[in-house]
Structures are given as structure tokens and as C-alpha cells.
């Protein structure tokens, strides 16, 4: 079985070097998430990926994920088109509704309860702006009158849109707007179930092409299994401000290279074709973590 792999940027300080390292190690994507405010330091995804684009040549860029409801849709469309242009057609938009940190919604003037509806409206607007001219729109949150987006993105009709989430609403969003499905904190069983649901929801729309199945997963790989598990547990417990000791085995990739190969095969059997990984380990081990995965795990899927 063949999979394509992406890796998350390591941090805020050395984006260009991190992206170059990912490209050199043979990853197909470099990715980053975003928050305005969170439990610790975070990127703005689009700006970070613009820096990565300028430092690389071939690796694709994935926002995993962009908090779409926090952006005015026209502004986000402009940023997406610009990033796709400056990267020579390498950008992929990962879409999420957020909500884990309600204070960032409050600070942005966006009611958290509206995040799903705002995301759906934004995706409709973004796709129209990238494929039509003289666009007029009168929606619940946005009004536009005869506006045209120039320049257009290099990828037509628009850069690939990957929908993330854990609910049926996210799966319906994927069936309607998504080119790919990129869930997180999923077991292989839940991934297979979600893909079946998306197929059912897709049959209720007029879409012609299947959704590309993906997965976002945190990982820690080490030749000592317990060391890897402890690293992932400690990192994710801190990042999400909750105890992950009983969750790492279900939702993260943690263990020896052989352990990780076996678990990835389960995800591949469930339907995954693209896997976006993010290190769950101490900063001092991230470089080794990514290299070990590239050298001893990924070759099993080439």
C-alpha cells in the first residue's frame, strides 16, 4: 500500500529551515495549524506557510487547519489565492470550525455557536470567488456586490480543500465542499465509519468525484516503546490541557518504528491515503523524531 505523508512545522522560530528539512527528508507536505489564542504559542497558518513556500521548491503546503469562521470570507479567499500563486500552485486549504478555545472567538467578535454556519457560508463564497466574475452574494453573514477576485489561484478551479472535524456536520460539509477529508483524533475504525458516512452524504449532493481520504495524527517514534508513549502523553496532555494517558494509544502514533508501521497499516486499511503528522515529543527530540519516521517507517509505504 502507498501513502503520502506530511509533517508539521516544528515551531515559530525557524520556519524556513524546518520546511527545507521536511522537503529534504522526502515528505510530500509541510503543514501547520493555527489559533489566535490558545494554551501555548501558535502560528498563523497562512503566514507561516508563506514563509515555508519561499524557502522550498516542491513540497506541498497544507494548512491543518485554518480556522475559517474567524476570517471574513473575501479576505480569506484573497489570502488563499495569493498563497497558491506565490507557492506556484502548492497550497492545500485545511478547513476547521475550531471551538476548543472559545475566548479567541469572543476576542474576534464571532459567536462560537455560529462557527459551523459561518464556515459553510465562507466555503460557498470562496469557491464562487475563485471560479466566477462579478460575484454578488447576500447571505446570513456576508454581503457582496459584483466583485471579482484577481489574480486567481494557480490551481483551478481552486486549491484543494480538506475538511477536518469529528461530527456528522463536518462530514456533510466535506461531502458538499471538500476535495479531501482530514479528521484528527480518530481510530482506524472511526475513520472507516466516517468515510462511509461521507460517501452516503455525497450521494445526496451533485458531486461527481470521490473525496480523498486523509488523516491528521500526532506521533512520537523511538526505539524504546515506553519512551515514545511517555513523550506523546506528556506533550499532548500539556497541549490540550487534559490527561492523555488513556488516549495516546487510541489517537496518536506512539511506539517503535515497527509499532508505527503496524498502526499506519490499520489506518491505510481503513481507507487513509494521505497522512499529516505532527510531532508529540520534547523540542529537543523533534528533529530525531521526524528523521526516524522518514527513515524507518515511511519506506514501508512506498
Q: What is the CA radius of gyration of the chain?
A: 19
Question: Residue 83's pLDDT band (boundaries 50, 70, 90)?
Answer: very high
171 has a pLDDT exceeding 80: yes
State residue 239's pLDDT score. 86
State residue 13's pLDDT score. 86
Question: Residue 1's pLDDT band (boundaries 50, 70, 90)?
Answer: confident
Hey, which residues does 221 pair with through a beta bridge? 255
As given in the structure block, the three cell numbers for residue 84 are 497558491
Distances (CA, A) of 251 to 235, 264, 271, 301: 13, 12, 16, 20
Find out whether 212 and 274 touch, Cβ atoms under 8 Å: yes
Percentage with pLDDT > 90 across the chain? 93
Q: Which among 76, 52, 58 is positioned nearest to 66, based on CA atoms? A: 76
State residue 93's pLDDT score. 98
Using omega within 30 degrees of 0 as the cis cutoff, is the peptide bond preceding 65 cis? yes
138 has a pLDDT exceeding 90: yes
7 has a pLDDT exceeding 90: yes
Question: Residue 208's pLDDT band (boundaries 50, 70, 90)?
Answer: confident
Each residue of 263-291: pLDDT tens digit? Answer: 999 999 999 999 999 999 999 999 999 99
Helix extents (H) in the chain? 15-25, 45-55, 73-86, 102-108, 115-131, 168-177, 188-203, 225-240, 248-251, 257-270, 286-296
If phi over 0 gives left and psi between -120 and 50 gives alpha, with beta otherwise, what is residue 271?
Answer: left
Q: What is the C-alpha to C-alpha distance for residues 254 and 259, in angstroms, rounded to an integer? A: 7
Bigger pLDDT: 240 or 15?
15
Question: Which residues have a Cβ under 8 Å from the Cβ of 221 and sit 6 or more positions away?
Answer: 228, 253, 254, 255, 256, 257, 259, 260, 289, 292, 293, 296, 297
The pTM of this model reads 0.95
As given in the structure block, the three cell numbers for residue 203 are 450521494
Question: Residue 3's pLDDT band (boundaries 50, 70, 90)?
Answer: very high
200 has a pLDDT exceeding 80: yes
Question: Residue 207's pLDDT band (boundaries 50, 70, 90)?
Answer: confident
State residue 62's pLDDT score. 98
Question: Which residues have a Cβ under 8 Å from the Cβ of 46 and sit 6 or more positions away?
Answer: 34, 63, 66, 79, 80, 83
- Say how many residues make up the chain: 302
Tell me how many helices (H) and strands (E) the chain has: 11, 11
The dihedral sign for the CA sequence 132, 134, 137, 141: positive
126 has a pLDDT exceeding 80: yes
Range with the poorest average pLDDT among 5-14, 66-75, 161-170 = 5-14
Question: Residue 40's pLDDT band (boundaries 50, 70, 90)?
Answer: confident
Q: What is the mean pLDDT of the segment spanning 68-89?
A: 98
State residue 44's pLDDT score. 96
**How many CA atoms does the CB half-sphere of 41 hold within 13 Å?**
4
Element (H, E) at 28: none
240 has a pLDDT exceeding 90: no
State residue 294's pLDDT score. 97
224 has a pLDDT exceeding 80: yes
Here the contacts of 259-266 (C-beta below 8 Å, separation 24 or greater) are 259/221, 259/225, 259/228, 260/219, 260/221, 260/293, 260/297, 261/297, 261/300, 264/3, 264/297, 264/300, 264/301, 265/1, 266/188
Amino acid at each position: 500500500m502507498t501513502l503520502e505523508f506530511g509533517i508539521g512545522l516544528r515551531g515559530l522560530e525557524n520556519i524556513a529551515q524546518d520546511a527545507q528539512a521536511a522537503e529534504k527528508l522526502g515528505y510530500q507536505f509541510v503543514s501547520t495549524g493555527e489559533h489566535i489564542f490558545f494554551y501555548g504559542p501558535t502560528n498563523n497558518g497562512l503566514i507561516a506557510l508563506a514563509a515555508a513556500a519561499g524557502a522550498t521548491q516542491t513540497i506541498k503546503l497544507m494548512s491543518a487547519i485554518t480556522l475559517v469562521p474567524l476570517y471574513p470570507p473575501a479576505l480569506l479567499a484573497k489570502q488563499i489565492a495569493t498563497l497558491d500563486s506565490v507557492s506556484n500552485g502548492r497550497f492545500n486549504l485545511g478547513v476547521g470550525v475550531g471551538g476548543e478555545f472559545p475566548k479567541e472567538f469572543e476576542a474576534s467578535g464571532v459567536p462560537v455557536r455560529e462557527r459551523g454556519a459561518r464556515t459553510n457560508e465562507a466555503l460557498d463564497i470562496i469557491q464562487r470567488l475563485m471560479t466566477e466574475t462579478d460575484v454578488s452574494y447576500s447571505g446570513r453573514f456576508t454581503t457582496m456586490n459584483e466583485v471579482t477576485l484577481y489574480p486567481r489561484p494557480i490551481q483551478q478551479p481552486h486549491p484543494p480543500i480538506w475538511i477536518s472535524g469529528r461530527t456528522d456536520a463536518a462530514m456533510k460539509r466535506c461531502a458538499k465542499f471538500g476535495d479531501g477529508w482530514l479528521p484528527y483524533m480518530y481510530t482506524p475504525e472511526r475513520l472507516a465509519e466516517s468515510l462511509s458516512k461521507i460517501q452516503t452524504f455525497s450521494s445526496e449532493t451533485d458531486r461527481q468525484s470521490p473525496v480523498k481520504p486523509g488523516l491528521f495524527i500526532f506521533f512520537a517514534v523511538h526505539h524504546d516503546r515506553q519512551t515514545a508513549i511517555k513523550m506523546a502523553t506528556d506533550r499532548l496532555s500539556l497541549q490540550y490541557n487534559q490527561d492523555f494517558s488513556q488516549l495516546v494509544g487510541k489517537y496518536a502514533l506512539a511506539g517503535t518504528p515497527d509499532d508505527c508501521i503496524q498502526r499506519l497499516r490499520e489506518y491505510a486499511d481503513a481507507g487513509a491515503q494521505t497522512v499529516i503528522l505532527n510531532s508529540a515529543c520534547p523540542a529537543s527530540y523533534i528533529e530525531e523524531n521526524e528523521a526516524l519516521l522518514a527513515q524507518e517507517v515511511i519506506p514501508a509505504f512506498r
